[in-house]
Amino acid sequence: MEPIRVLLADDQALVRAGFAMMLSVEEEIEVVGQVANGRDAVEFAAANPVDVILMDVQMPVLDGIRATEQVVAAGTAKVIILTTFERDDYLFDALRAGASGFLLKNADPDDLVAAVHAVACGHALLAPEMTVRVIERFASQQRDETAAADAAGPASPVPSPAARETQKLLDSLTSREREVLVNVAAGRSNAEIAAGMFVAEATVKTHVSNLLAKIQVRDRVQAVVFAYESGLILAGDKPAAD
């Protein structure tokens, strides 16, 4: 099998060197390049075969969020965002930009390798602690929107075309698919969902595949965004325990 080709994008040379060292011992992974800004990452991926980019957020010339948008739009590579808890305000924007995963900069080498393999295979990677931060961000946004609506008075605003389309996609789901989506948004694995719903894991996989197609998203990470943007899960909601 061909090795997984990884590009490192970070403006700190020591950080790039550290990740390169962690990955260099893996026979199935090859670091094909290192760049110091988002623009160079976009250009490198366009000119060279790259499977996964480990993308920092704060970089000169072009930041990691905008670079991720361009890479995903071009379809040249999958992106794992390098982030820290101190700057988790970037998480929400990175999700919308199309990142397939998120990795803490202090991650263990085994976690780094597992993340690269998972994303290269087409899976999404959203750690439970990151899921919590997504929920907190959406909850805060919903509280702000509710407060603004209350201040504006009783008149109900006309839904935007985007909101109507989102509702249409949500309505296309069966009740079982909605239940699975709620569990996906809670960060549960297929095995955990299967145990909680008393069905086979293969059944859950089928439901996940079907709902992703219906709501027109690429992966589980984007499904989390959809679950909150659509209002399927509201601020303060908690999926039922298994």
CB 58 within 8 A of CB 11: yes
Q: pLDDT value at position 140? A: 62
Residue 45: closest CA among 93, 77, 3: 77
Amino acid identity, residue 83?
T
4-125 and 159-229 in the same fold:
no
Which two three-digit tokens encode residue 224? Answer: 């989390």
Please give the class, per CATH, of domain 159-229. Answer: mainly alpha
The token pair that represents 42 in the structure block: 């976009």
Give the domain ranges of the chain.
Answer: 4-125, 159-229
Radius of gyration over every alpha carbon of the chain, rounded to an integer in angstroms:
19
Residue-wise pLDDT tens digits, 113-135 = 988 998 888 777 766 566 666 65
pTM: 0.70
Check pLDDT > 60 for residue 60. yes
Domain 4-125 classified CATH 3.40.50.2300? Answer: yes
Report percent pLDDT > 90 for the chain.
45
Evaluate whether 68 touches 55 at the Cβ level (below 8 Å).
yes
pLDDT at residue 240, rounded to an integer: 45
Q: Which of 34-43, 68-77, 94-103 shows the lowest mean pLDDT across its residues?
A: 94-103
Residue whose C-alpha is closest to residue 115's, from 105, 125, 106: 125
Is the Cα dihedral 94, 32, 112, 180 positive or negative? positive
Confidence of residue 159 (pLDDT cuts 50, 70, 90): low
Rounded CA separation 152/134 (Å): 27
Residue 192 is encoded by which pair of tokens?
A: 């955990």
More confident residue, 89 or 209: 209
